[in-house]
Amino acid sequence: MDKKKKIMIVDDDPNIVELIDIYLKKEGYETDKHLSGVTALDRFDAVEPDLILLDIMLPEIDGYDVCTEVRKKSDVPIIMITAKGETFDKVLGLELGADDYLVKPFEAAELLARVKAVLRRYGNEMPQKKVLEIPNLKIDLNEYSITYHGKKLEMPKKELELLHFLIANPNHVFTREKLLDKIWGYEYVGESRTVDVHIKRVREKLSQEDPWEIKTVWSVGYKFQNKE
């Protein structure tokens, strides 16, 4: 790799931190290690990590809260690490803005595959950056900005790219797998549930009174269309 990617490791188990540190350094990554979410947040701006490996069960402030605080100011990719396997934990992490999750115990190969996949998708640029305008909404993918009903609308990077892609391809039905490939840009190693989560978050920011919609095509996927 041309420039070493810096990965922040946040876990309250020093043995796991050191193990992850060994795996990552063998692959040529730089690391920044923390045993608590508090110190990780304190150092975030100074470190400027390219990716965060974030344990959920942390002292003082848990991984969910750390993820929420990071998302207030950055779109840096976050992989949640959890000893819990319940769907609720996975979905909640995605709802808060995490990009992927890893369940303990995990093998080095799985950890590295997910790290590389997430970094690869964030390194991919959208093929055609342009301005799209429809009634009540303008997306400028050059500046990653949205104007909605005349006002700036805050929207995370992947939500914006997802909305842009659907608008750029009206009336075309895309499966979740195809959207993962087009927007996230890699063979997803988790669940297609992440598409549902991002669609839900986009819809929550928009009004049902607009003359267009993101329509769910049951058992298939999603499409952007004008309302009938």
200 vs 61, 85, 169, 171, 227, CA distance in Å?
A: 27, 22, 19, 19, 18
Distance CA 144, CA 128 (A): 13
Ordered structural domains, the chain, with CATH: 6-123 (3.40.50.2300), 131-226 (1.10.10.10)
Residue 125's pLDDT is what?
Answer: 45
Strand partners, 214: 224
> What residues pair up with 152 in beta bridges, in sequence order?
147
Q: List phi, psi (to 5°) of 65.
A: -70, -40
- What is the per-residue pLDDT for 147? 95
Please, are residues 142 and 154 in contact by the beta-carbon 8 Å criterion? no
In tens digits, the chain (228 residues) has pLDDT values of: 446 899 999 999 999 999 999 999 999 999 999 999 999 999 998 998 999 999 998 988 999 999 989 988 887 889 998 886 655 567 777 778 788 888 888 889 999 999 988 888 776 544 454 789 999 999 998 888 999 999 999 998 889 989 999 998 888 888 888 888 778 765 455 567 888 999 999 999 998 889 999 999 988 899 999 987
Residue whose entry in the numeric block shows the structure tokens 């093998």: 107
Predicted pLDDT at 190: 53
Tokens of 90: 């996975």
